[in-house]
Amino acid sequence: MDSSRLSHPLFSESSSKSVVGQTGQNATLPCTYNFKYYGALSVCWGRGDLPLSGCYNQLIATDGCKVIEGTRASSRYQLLGRLAKGDVSLTILNVTDSDAGRYGCRVEIPGWFNDNKQHFDLTVETGGSSGSSNSTSTSSSSSTSTSTSTSTSTSTVFVSVLICCFLLLLFFIMFFILMRRRRSQTTTDSL
C-alpha cells in the first residue's frame, strides 16, 4: 500500500513534533499532505491543541490554493511552501519569546473524522549568530513525511468506539430476532 495515502478516514492520526527556533529568525513548522491524491484541501493553523473540528486561536488558513486573507492573525504568519504540492508549512517571521508554545495544523479531509492533525511544540532560544534567515530544527528524523504519526487522535478513538457500539447493537438485535423466532416456532409446535 502507498504510504503517502496513510491518512485513511478511520485511521487519521495526530503527531507531535518538537521544533526549535531562534529569536529574530524565521521558524518553519512543517505540514504537508498528498495533493496528488486528495487535490486542494482546506487547512488551518492554530495556537494550542486542535479541537475535534476547526482551529482554536486560528493563525492562518488556506483553501488549498491560496491563503484566505481574512484568516491571517498577523503578517508574521506565512504559508511559504508550494500549496499546489500540498506544502502548507507555517513560517513564523522574526520569532520572539512569546511565540513559544504549541501549534496545530489541521488538513480537512472530506468525510467524518478524517482530518489529519499535526501538533508542534515550538521552543524559542535566544538568537545565535548563524546569519541564516531560517534557523529552525525539528526533532523528527524526516520533515518531509509529516503525515506519519506518533499518537492516535481523539477522533480516531471516537470512531473506533462508535463502530464497536454499532456492531454490538447489531449483534443484540440479531440475537433478539433469533430468540423471538425460536419462541414462535416452539409455540407453534406445541399446539
**CATH code 2.60.40.10 for 12-152:** yes
Residue showing cell 505540514: 31
Which segment of 88-92, 110-114, 142-146, 181-185 scores lowest on mean pLDDT?
142-146
pTM above 0.85, yes or no: no
Closest CA to 46 of 65, 31, 24, 34: 31
Residue 120 has pLDDT above 60, yes or no: yes
Q: Which of 32, 138, 8 is nearest to 87 (CA)?
A: 32
For residues 121-150, give the mean pLDDT: 52
Report the distance separating Cα 78 and Cα 76, nearest Å. 6
Distances (CA, A) of 109 to 27, 168, 171: 26, 28, 31
Across 66-156, where does the E strand assignment appear?
A: 77-78, 90-92, 101-108, 116-125, 137-138, 151-152
* Model confidence pLDDT, tens digit, residues 41-57: 999 999 999 888 888 89
The pLDDT of residue 157 is 53
The C-alpha cell at 134 is 531560517
Higher pLDDT: 53 or 26? It is 26
pLDDT mean over 96-101? 94
Q: Which amino acid is at 20?
A: V
Q: What is the mean pLDDT of residues 3-27?
A: 66
The rounded distance, in Å, linking the Cα atoms of 18 and 120 is: 6
Strands (E), the chain: 13-22, 27-29, 42-47, 58-62, 77-78, 90-92, 101-108, 116-125, 137-138, 151-152
pLDDT confidence tier of residue 156, bands split at 50, 70 and 90: low
Which grid coordinates belong to 80? 511559504
Residue 169, CA distances (Å) to 68, 102, 163, 175 in order: 44, 40, 10, 10
CB atoms within 10 A of CB 91: 19
